[in-house]
Chain A
Amino acid sequence: MKTNISLVQQILQKDKGGKIVLLMLFFVVVFVAISNLLIPKDSFFYISTYTVTLLGKYLAFALLALALDLVWGFIGILSLGHGAFFALGGYSMGMYLMRQIGDRGVYGNAELPDFMVFMNLKELPWFWCGFDNFFFAAFMIAFVPALLAFIFGWLAFRSRVTGVYLSIITQALTYALMLAFFRNDMGFGGNNGLTDFKDILGFDLQSDGTRISLLVLSFLALLGGYIVSKYIINSRLGRVCIAIRDTESRVRFLGYKVEQYKLFIFVVSAILAGIAGALYVPQVGIINPSVFSPMFSIELVIWVAIGGRGTLYGAIIGAFIVNYASTYFTSALPEVWLYALGGLFVIVTLFLPKGAVGFIKKLNLKKYTEVSNASS
C-alpha cells in the first residue's frame, strides 16, 4: 500500500495543475456527500440528490474528456467519434441494469425487457446473454469499446489515414452506429434506448446511498484514469507518442512502429471512455442513441479545446466549465446555448489556443514577471 502511494506521488510529481484539480474535486465530492447524507433536508446546507447526480454526471464526462485528450492531445488523433466508445460502455451497463429489472417491468415479464415484449420478441437475443451477471457486464464495458477501437484503429492506422481524413471517418463511425442503434430490430431499444432502471447490484438506484456511492465511484474512476494516463504520458512510450504527434514520419525512421503506438493509445482511451459511459448511465437513468450522435462527439472536442488540450487536467476543467454552463443555460436561455457554445469555441481557438489552462498559466507568468520587475 505504501509503495502504491509513493508510486502515485511519483507519477503526479511536477504535475501541479493535476494535483490541484483532483484535490479540489476530492473536497467537492466529500463535501457534497456529507451535506447530502448527514445534513437534514430542511437545513440551508443540505445538498439535493439532484445536485449529487449532476456532479456525478460531470465526473463521468470529465473522464470522457480525459480519454479524448489522451488521443488528441498526446498522439495527435483528433477523434470526432469518441462518443461511440462512451455509448458502448453505457449500453453495456444499461443492458445489465435492464436485466436487473426482472419482472418489475410494465409487462411483468421476467425473461424479457419491456421493449422486447412490446416488439413481440419471444426470446432474448443472443448478445443479451450474460448481461444478468455484473462481472460479465463489467468486462464488456471495457471489452466492447476496446474491440471496436482495435478493429477500427488497426484498419485506419495501418493504411496511414491521418489528420482530417481520420477525423472524418471517426465521425462516420459514430454516425453509422447511431443509425444502427436507432433501429428497433437491433435489439437495443431503438429510439427510446434503455431506461426505467430499478437497481444496481441489488441496491436501489433512487436511494441517496446508491447515488453517493456512484458519485464516489465516478470520482475514483476519474482519479484512476488520470493516474493511468499520466503514467503512460510520463513513460518513454509517452514521449514517443508526443513525437508522433509532432513529427510522425520522423519517428518511423528511428525504428518505432507508429501504428502500434497509435493503436495502444486509442484502445486505452476507448476503454476509459467506455468506463465513463458505464458510470454515466446509472446516474442519468437512461442511455439512447443520441449519445452516438456526431454532435455529441464534436461537443466533447470543444470541452477539451476550451479546457486546454494536451494537459489532461485541462480536459477535466473543460468538461466541468462547459457542462456547468450547459446546465445553467439550457434551463435559463435554451435557445442561446448552442450559439454560446459555438462562440466560446471560436473565441478559444482564435485567442486561447491552449484553452483555460494556457490562459491561467499566462496570467501566472505575467504576475511573476511583474513581481520580479517590481523587485528589481
Chain B
Amino acid sequence: MLLLEHDNTDNIGELKKGNRILYLDDVTVSFDGFKALNSLSLTIEYEELRCIIGANGAGKSTMMDVITGKTRPDTGNVVFGQAVDLLKMDEPAIAQIGIGRKFQKPTVFEGHSVFENLELAMKGDKRFFKTLFACMSGEQRDKIEEAMVLIGLKDFYKKEASILSHGQKQWLEIGMLLMQDPKVLLVDEPVAGMTPGEVEKTGQILTDLSKNHSVVVVEHDMEFIRSIAKKVTVLHEGSVLAEGSIKNIQENEKVRKVYLGE
C-alpha cells in the first residue's frame, strides 16, 4: 500500500507552469439514465486559475465529485499530473495526493472550534496512530494563526463553527483549503452568501493562491468571474460548450444563446 502511494506520487511528473495537473478524458456519469456528465473532457494546467460556469444542473458539482472520488464515472479517465490514475484511488488518497475541495454547501465541522477545524485540515500525516500522539509545533500554530487572520476569523478561534454565519463558514472552508495546501483547489461556488466586500477579498485570495497552486472555481456570479478569470470553461448539459478568455466567452454565439439567455 505504501509502495503504491509512493508510485502514485512519482507519477505526478514535474510540476511547473504550463504542465497539465488535471486531465478529464471523455468522462460520463449517469444517474438513472440521465447523463449529468456527457463525454466531458477538460485539462487544467499547473498554476492556472480556471473558472467554470454553467447553468444550474450543468454538471459542475458532479465534475468535482468525480475528481475527488465521491462519484465513480461510468466511462472515461481522470488523471492527476502526468499519469496518476485518480479512478483507482479513494477520497482520502486523492486528498492526500494534493486535491483539496470546498463544497457548494459549506461543510465545516460544526462541533469543533474554528481553530480545530483548521487544525484537522492541516497538511500532514493523517494515519490514526500518528494523530493519536500528534503534538502541534509552534510553526504549525503560526500557520493556523496566519490562516485565521487571512479569513478574518481570528476573533472566533475558540468559537464553535456552528455559530458562524453562512458567509463565515464559506471563509472557514477556504481557510481549511489553505491549511491543506493542496496542489489543486476545487472551489465550488465560494462567494454565495458573501457581501460585496467579502467577494472582492475572496477573489484576491483565489488569485494569490493561483500563483503556486492550480485553482478551479465554479461560480454563477459573472461579476466575480470577470474580476478574477483569465480562462473560462462553459459547461452545458454535462459537456464543454466553450472555452477561452472571458472576452471570447462573452462574445461566443452559442454561449449567449444557452447561458446568457440571449
Residues of A within 8 A of B (CB): 232, 235-237, 239-240, 242-243, 245-247, 249-258, 260-261, 264
Residues of B within 8 A of A (CB): 68, 70, 90-93, 95-96, 100-101, 103, 107-112, 116, 119-121, 126-129, 131-134, 176, 180
Most buried by B among A232, A243, A245: A243
A247: which B residues are within 8 A, CB to CB?
107, 109-110
A257: which B residues are within 8 A, CB to CB?
92, 126-128
- Measured CB to CB, the closest approach of chain A to B121, in angstroms, equals 5
- Measured CB to CB, the closest approach of chain A to B187, in angstroms, equals 13
Is there an interface contact between B91 and A264, defined as CB atoms closer than 8 Å? no
Residue of B nearest to A264 (CB): B128
Most buried by A among B111, B116, B128: B128
Residue of B nearest to A244 (CB): B109
8 pairs, CB–CB < 8 Å, chain A vs chain B? A243-B112, A243-B120, A252-B91, A253-B70, A254-B92, A254-B121, A254-B176, A264-B128
With A239-B116, A243-B120 as given contacts, are A256 and B132 in contact (CB-CB < 8 Å)? no
Given A250-B108, A260-B128, 4 additional A-B pairs, CB 8 A? A235-B131, A240-B126, A243-B111, A264-B132
- Measured CB to CB, the closest approach of chain A to B192, in angstroms, equals 18
Residue of B nearest to A256 (CB): B126
Most buried by B among A239, A247, A253, A261: A253
A254: which B residues are within 8 A, CB to CB?
92, 95, 120-121, 126, 176, 180
A250: which B residues are within 8 A, CB to CB?
103, 107-109
Is there an interface contact between A235 and B116, defined as CB atoms closer than 8 Å? no
With A236-B119, A260-B128 as given contacts, are A255 and B109 in contact (CB-CB < 8 Å)? no
* From B93, B100, B119, B180, contact of A239 by CB (8 A): B119
A242: which B residues are within 8 A, CB to CB?
109, 111-112
Is there an interface contact between B91 and A253, defined as CB atoms closer than 8 Å? yes
A256: which B residues are within 8 A, CB to CB?
92, 126
Residue of B nearest to A263 (CB): B128
Report how far A205 CA is from B96 CA in the complex, Å. 55
Report how far A101 CA is from B180 CA in the complex, Å. 60
